[in-house]
Amino acid sequence: MGASRTDAGVHALGQVASVATESALSATAVQGALNAMLPADIRVLRVGDADAGFDARRHARRKRYAYLIDNGAVASPLLRRYAWHVRVSLDVSAMRAGLGRLRGVHDFSAFRAAPGRSQRPVCHVSALHVVQHRSRLAIVVSADRYLHHMVRNIVGSAVAIGRGTRPSAWMGDVLASRDRTTAGPTAPAQGLTLLRVLY
């Protein structure tokens, strides 16, 4: 049982999975066996014993994702599979101001891919930051739960603000609307990475 499902093209550095087994193998042996069988782009970094009944998905309290944007005039070929190249210079201060309106407990229906995929559209976003290093931006989001495409839709809206096509205050209007058609486009999958699952 994986802690978090991800869309095709999304990456994970901190995915957690739970498994019940009657095997007497040590955790080290299980890790070695898994890595011997998995494809080269998937690696088990750590294996340990958990309490009986532990469920990686149901016991997760928060998940942290990062979305990487390559904001250079020329796309980095090394980041092609891991970032969204946005060549127009982005106003990072305006993006931060807009994203700040999403912190807290809200109905995130406006950032959900389609109604009905999740019964409860209310999420608690405990942290939302924009980290900039030269021409690279990372939008880091921590929340107790996520709706389908929620982070990618938030990023698409933040980029619209960064490009200057929308004011920062628009992010709050989108949130209040609870209407997906008012938000920005869905950011491409390859820029999104699950960083950590917190228990």
Which tokens go with 159? 């980029």
7 has catalytic annotation: yes
Cα dist. 108→23, 71, 80, 172 in Å? 43, 27, 29, 11
- Cβ neighbors of 144 (< 8 A, separation 6 or more) are 61, 62, 123, 124, 126
Burial tier of 119 (Cβ tally within 10 Å: 0-12, 13-18, 19+): exposed
Q: Check 7, 49, 107, 144 and give the catalytic one.
A: 7
Helix or strand run (H / E) with residue 139? strand 136-143
Rounded to the nearest 10 degrees, how much is the dihedral formed by the CA atoms of 89, 91, 95, 97?
180
Q: Report yes or no: 173 and 160 within 8 Å, Cβ to Cβ.
A: no
Among all residues, which ones are annotated catalytic?
7
